[in-house]
């Protein structure tokens, strides 16, 4: 009998449109829960979801039958619909177009988990833009900084 074995860990990072500080402490837990549940509903495995008022990090085990683009479409779509349906923000909520996805080996999962858990503390020292550009540089992505973020506030 043949089986498919997989072990693909990724971190997905995405931001609120225009990097607006719209994820308040009052609604953060609900939003992160919806994101985690959306990941699990695709057959992927949520390890941790956390973020700050303007962006989210998701560490997950990727199921090989779903593409990353499909996963992100589902996660961002369901969570923004939830936020708008529950009127968790004063204005219409949207995620910024695009996302960053970074892969990790199993030996790195604990370190990435700790990094994501400590997002609030981490961002007292480094803002999201610098953090994101650091990740792009670390993974040798070629990018034009003018197009990484839409309409910075």
Q: For residues 124-133, give the mean pLDDT.
A: 82
Phi and psi torsions of 49, nearest 5° = -130, 130
User: 27 in a domain, yes or no?
Assistant: yes
Residue 20's domain spans which residues?
9-147
Query: Domain for residue 153, yes or no?
Result: no
The phi, psi pair for 45, rounded to 5°, reads -120, 115
Q: Is residue 105 included in any domain, yes or no? A: yes
For the entire predicted model, the pTM comes to 0.87
Report yes or no: 94 and 80 within 8 Å, Cβ to Cβ: yes
Tally of domains in the chain: 1
Q: What is the pLDDT of residues 12-35, one digit of tens each?
A: 999 999 888 999 999 999 999 999
Per residue in 101-119, pLDDT (tens digit) is 999 999 999 999 999 999 8
Residue 2 is assigned to a structural domain of this protein:
no
The pLDDT confidence band at residue 153, using thresholds 50, 70 and 90, is very low
Q: Is residue 4 part of a domain?
A: no
Domain CATH for 134: 3.30.70.1290
Confidence of residue 51 (pLDDT cuts 50, 70, 90): very high
The reply to whether 100 falls in a domain is: yes
Domain for residue 53, yes or no? Answer: yes
15-43 burial by CB neighbour count: b if 16+ within 10 A, else e? bbbebbebbeeebbeebbebbbebbeebe
- The mean pLDDT value for 43-63 works out to 97
User: Which position has the token pair 């939830």?
Assistant: 82
Q: Return the pLDDT at 121.
A: 85
CB 53 within 8 A of CB 21: yes
Query: Is residue 99 in some structural domain?
Result: yes
Q: What percent of the chain shows pLDDT beyond 90?
A: 69
């Amino acid at each position: 009998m043949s089986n498919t074995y997989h072990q693909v860990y990724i971190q997905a990072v995405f931001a609120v449109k225009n990097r607006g500080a719209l994820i308040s402490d009052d609604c953060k837990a609900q939003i992160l829960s919806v994101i985690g549940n959306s990941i699990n509903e695709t057959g992927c495995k949520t390890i941790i979801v956390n973020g700050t008022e303007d962006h989210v990090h998701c560490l997950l085990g990727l199921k090989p039958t779903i593409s990353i683009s499909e996963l992100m479409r589902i996660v961002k779509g369901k969570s923004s619909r939830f936020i708008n349906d529950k009127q968790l923000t004063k204005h219409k909520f949207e995620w910024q177009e695009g996302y960053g996805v970074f892969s990790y080996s199993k030996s790195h999962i604990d370190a990435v988990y700790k990094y994501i858990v400590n997002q609030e503390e981490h961002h007292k020292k480094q803002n999201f833009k610098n953090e994101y550009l650091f990740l792009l540089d670390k993974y040798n992505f070629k990018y034009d900084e003018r197009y990484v973020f839409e309409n910075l506030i």
